[in-house]
């Protein structure tokens, strides 16, 4: 008789992944769903990256790769960190993985012991806490409230750090809120981290190129070089270059940390697809102008989505400064009943009824550690966004 291991008993399937599967099932049944739940760019992978992968395959670059990544890609990553973040990493301080998600898993599994604590800004990406649990650590949320634009306050971080704290996770621009910490705000956070010399920092910078208006991206090791020797700077090709399916993540960090993570990776997945790595080299070293062009397109989508959501009954919506998500507040909808008869007691009820009655897929805020909110991804075409937001308006107007 199969029994699930103890380490998985408190780990649930990602709410966004579960919603994506449900959407696929409904579409397979012929239901026309407006999918606003998946954080996946709708842009194509750059043509020069695809061509580079094709050339690599034809050239026979299809053998087992080094576990930490091929040298050409590590060199491209080295140049990227210098160009974009003013960070200098030696090649043995860089590694490549199957997406940034595995980078973070490798880091936790290589460093965390039972009883350690991992501080996670909330709301935050679902997998941070689950990965900590799998590794045997205790996830410790620190609230980033809407009245502070969903940003992490230095004093709040300082208050939750203990002798057991092993990691602090930083993700700004943030999933699910789109919050961006300014360089000055990051400076205050760094000042707190400087005081606690036993704490490691995981900077998840995967949305760094998606910032809007006057917002400015900054990362921990760039703002405070003294923290570089205990910071893991995480990034990847998925979001910026629309390469989600290629599965290429990477990181720069202290040499001993990278060595331990590479050892961990060797036990669970070995090296990364050589074809994907060739594509990532071309993406990182190729023309970068498209990043600003795509960010401008996302900004237009953001503005229209926020305007439409603000016109929905019972909904308020903060204007995010980065990423490609909005995180509307639905406090005005709680306690009401949908046209189909579902009582809206919480944000899970809201997104469930919205999917069942209006066929719009979103994700409940509870999955990210904050209610009553829900997440919409605007990484899709404008027509779908307009249709989805119109249906949300109808749904909210029908609540009684």
Residue 62: pLDDT above 80? yes
φ/ψ (deg, to 5) at 305? -65, -45
Q: Which pLDDT value is given to residue 22?
A: 80
Q: Per-residue confidence at 31, pLDDT binned at 50, 70, 90?
A: confident
Q: Per-residue confidence at 11, pLDDT binned at 50, 70, 90?
A: confident
Q: Are residues 19 and 60 located together in one domain of the fold?
A: no
Q: Per-residue confidence at 16, pLDDT binned at 50, 70, 90?
A: confident
Q: Are residues 67 and 213 located together in one domain of the fold?
A: yes
Q: Say how far residue 336 (Cα) sits from the centre of its chain.
A: 32
Q: Which pLDDT value is given to residue 337?
A: 98
d(CA 300, CA 317): 16
Residue 15: pLDDT above 80? no
Helix (H, G, I), strand (E, B) or coil at 3: coil
Report the CATH number that the domain containing residue 228 is assigned in CATH: 3.40.640.10
What range does the domain containing 224 cover? 49-285
Q: Are residues 87 and 22 located together in one domain of the fold?
A: no
Q: Are residues 258 and 383 located together in one domain of the fold?
A: no
Q: Given 264, 285, 306, which residue is the final one in a domain? A: 285
Q: Are residues 124 and 260 located together in one domain of the fold?
A: yes
d(CA 40, CA 355): 19
Residue 27: pLDDT above 80? yes
Q: What is the mean pLDDT of residues 239-255?
A: 98
d(CA 337, CA 353): 10
Vertex 84 angle, CA 112 and 73, to 5°: 70
By CB atoms closer than 10 A (0-12, 13-18, 19+), residue 99 is: buried
Residue 19: pLDDT above 80? no
Q: What is the mean pLDDT of residues 92-108?
A: 97
Q: Are residues 78 and 104 located together in one domain of the fold?
A: yes
Closest CA to 62 of 281, 245, 273: 273
Q: What is the mean pLDDT of residues 278-298?
A: 97
Residue 17: pLDDT above 80? no
Report the CATH number that the domain containing residue 343 is assigned in CATH: 3.90.1150.10
Structure tokens given for 152: 């992490």
Q: Are residues 262 and 321 located together in one domain of the fold?
A: no
Q: Are residues 128 and 230 located together in one domain of the fold?
A: yes
d(CA 239, CA 40): 7
Q: Please state, for a pLDDT cut of 70, what percent of the chain lies above it.
A: 100
d(CA 51, CA 180): 34
Contact 40, 379 (CB under 8 A): yes
Q: Given 285, 309, 336, which residue is the final one in a domain? A: 285
Q: What is the mean pLDDT of residues 269-286?
A: 96
Domain count for the chain:
2
Q: Are residues 155 and 269 located together in one domain of the fold?
A: yes
Contact 328, 392 (CB under 8 A): no
Q: Given 258, 285, 312, which residue is the final one in a domain? A: 285
């Amino acid at each position: 008789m199969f029994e699930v291991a103890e380490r998985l008993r408190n780990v649930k399937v990602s709410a966004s992944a579960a919603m994506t599967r449900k959407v696929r099932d409904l579409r397979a049944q012929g239901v026309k769903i407006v999918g606003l739940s998946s954080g996946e760019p709708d842009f194509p992978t750059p043509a020069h990256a695809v061509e580079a992968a094709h050339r690599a395959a034809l050239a026979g670059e299809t053998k087992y790769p080094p576990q930490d990544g091929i040298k050409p890609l590590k060199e491209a990553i080295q140049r990227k960190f210098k160009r974009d973040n003013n960070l200098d990493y030696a090649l043995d301080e860089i590694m490549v993985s199957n997406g940034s998600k595995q980078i973070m898993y490798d880091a936790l599994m290589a460093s965390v012991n039972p009883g350690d604590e991992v501080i996670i800004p909330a709301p935050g990406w679902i997998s941070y806490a689950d990965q900590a649990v799998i590794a045997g650590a205790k996830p410790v949320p620190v609230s980033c409230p809407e009245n502070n634009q969903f940003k992490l306050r230095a004093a709040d971080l300082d208050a939750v750090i203990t002798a057991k704290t092993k990691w602090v996770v930083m993700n700004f621009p943030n999933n699910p809120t789109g919050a961006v910490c300014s360089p000055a705000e990051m400076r205050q956070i760094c000042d707190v981290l400087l005081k606690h010399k036993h704490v490691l920092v995981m900077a998840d910078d995967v949305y760094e190129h998606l910032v809007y208006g006057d917002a400015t991206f900054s990362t921990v090791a760039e703002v405070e070089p003294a923290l570089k020797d205990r910071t893991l700077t995480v990034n990847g090709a998925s979001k910026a270059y629309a390469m989600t399916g290629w599965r290429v993540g990477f990181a720069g960090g202290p040499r001993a940390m990278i060595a331990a993570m590479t050892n961990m990776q060797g036990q669970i997945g070995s090296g990364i697809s050589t074809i994907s790595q060739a594509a990532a080299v071309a993406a990182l070293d190729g023309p970068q102008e498209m990043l600003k062009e795509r960010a401008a397109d996302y900004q237009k989508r953001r503005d229209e989505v926020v305007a439409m959501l603000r016109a929905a009954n019972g909904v308020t919506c903060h204007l995010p400064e980065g990423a490609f998500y909005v995180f509307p507040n639905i406090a005005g909808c709680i306690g009401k009943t949908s046209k189909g008869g579902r009582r809206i007691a919480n944000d899970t009820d809201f997104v469930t009824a919205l999917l069942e009655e209006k066929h719009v897929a979103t994700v409940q805020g509870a999955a990210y550690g904050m209610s009553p909110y829900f997440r919409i991804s605007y990484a899709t075409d404008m027509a779908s966004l307009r249709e989805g937001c119109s249906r949300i308006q109808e749904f909210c107007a029908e609540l009684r």
